[in-house]
Amino acid sequence: MDEKVYEVISPEALYERTGIQKQIFNTIYQLMAMKEEQPEALSGAESLLMIPDYFHYMLTGVKRQEYTNATTTQLVSPVTKTWDYELIRQLGYPEKLFTELSMPGTVVGTLTKAVQDEVGFNCKVVLPATHDTGSAVMAVPVPENGERKGHETEKTHDTDGGLLYISSGTWSLMGTELSEADCSAESRKANLTNEGGYEYRFRYLKNIMGLWMIQSVKKELAAAGEEYSFAELCRMASHETIKSIVPCNDDVFLAPESMTEAVKAYLRKSGQEVPETAGALAAVIYNSLAQCYKETVEELEAITGRTYQAVNIVGGGSNAEYLNQLTAKATGKTVYAGPGEATAIGNLLAQMIRAGEFQGLTEARAAVYNSFEISTYQ
């Protein structure tokens, strides 16, 4: 379906127009599949709702298309910050499906009567940043004056590219915040993307395979009778000396029949040492992720012209101490890890800002910094 899209607009022109990296699951390609294979369903549709929008509709009966998630469709203009209707028309998608975009903090409505009867109460439903990374990035802990306890010389500013983060989970989303999207050819070649964020801040980031690889290996080990927790795999990996590295973003690691065999096969082919134990296998994956982070930092610094002092790691992967240590060593940056439940916290922040509990995102991030334990690695 990507080739069908490129009959209308080239990949280069599409990136220049939207700033969004190509992911084959982007909505732009899914709609082309419907146009080609289920045209009657596409032409007969009255509304297009992303999954979070659909949940809000089921709660309230109100249809809203939320901005941060909409940008990942590859159909939103980073200049106008709304649907690119000219592009939508060129592709032959029904314009009526694309309505006004709503920002995080917007009140969708109250619960429907059916939901009220089920749960026994009524309440307002407020939009968070419905893209999970959009919410997680809101929860990156930044002290209000930019100074961290014990590290007063290191300033972290949360606007104009001064914030470097990894939202670490199944995927690792590594990037910064920009006030304007970078849709340059250099940015496209680096496979960076400009996803919408809170207050129209752009999440300028790269998608890295992340802990999906270690999750898959853990599952495969368990199936073979070797049960380990993630903490145990980290501990075992930390005692290994194997130096082998795989490119985490290679397609061979996206959905292999066996992640273990995919890693070993790549290492054999590239002439590197092949891990023989669970600990060595975990070490290869963790070291490979740290190398990916290092390369991405270098790309971000080259393109943005900034030098970052620290990396903020949030999400479930922030609990992986060994990976945090490797990241600090590989990047040469101070690593601040936590909180773990960043997406849920970011959701709450959007609601609390709307309710007047915080005056804005800077104050909200400072509250996260003061409320959760943040571990430091150097």
Q: Cα torsion at 277, 280, 281, 287 (round to 10°)?
A: 180
One domain, residues 157 and 260: yes
Residue 94 structure tokens: 């029904």
Helices (H), 224-258: 230-238
The helix/strand count (H/E) of the chain reads as 17, 13
Among the candidates 92, 107, 126, a domain finishes at 126
Q: Which residue has the tokens 């969004």?
A: 20
One domain, residues 221 and 108: no
**Amino acid code (one letter) for 43:** S
Q: Dihedral of CA 119/125/129/130: which sign?
A: positive
Cis peptide bond upstream of 339, omega within 30:
yes
One domain, residues 333 and 369: yes
One domain, residues 106 and 13: yes
Q: Is 156 left (phi over 0), alpha (psi -120 to 50) or beta?
A: beta
One domain, residues 144 and 207: yes
What pLDDT, on the 0 to 100 scale, is given for residue 153? 37
One domain, residues 213 and 309: yes
One domain, residues 80 and 180: no
What is the C-alpha separation between 119 and 189, in angstroms, rounded? 50
Question: Closest by alpha carbon to 373, among 302, 299, 321?
Answer: 321
Among the candidates 104, 126, 148, a domain finishes at 126
pLDDT in tens, 79-103: 999 999 999 999 999 999 999 999 9
pLDDT > 90: percent of the chain:
92
Q: Which of 132, 158, 182, 251 is catalytic?
A: 132
pLDDT in tens, 193-217: 999 999 999 999 999 989 999 999 9
Active site residue 84: no
- The parts of the chain modelled with pLDDT lower than 50 are 150-154, 156-157
What pLDDT, on the 0 to 100 scale, is given for residue 154? 45
What is the β-pairing status of strands 164-168 and 310-314? parallel
Among the candidates 85, 102, 126, a domain finishes at 126
One domain, residues 346 and 219: yes
CATH number of the domain that 321 lies in?
3.30.420.40
One domain, residues 220 and 143: yes
**Amino acid code (one letter) for 278:** A
One domain, residues 56 and 152: no
One domain, residues 249 and 339: yes
One domain, residues 186 and 219: yes
First to last CA, the chain: 45
Domain that holds residue 69: 2-126
- Per the structure, the count of domains in the chain is 2
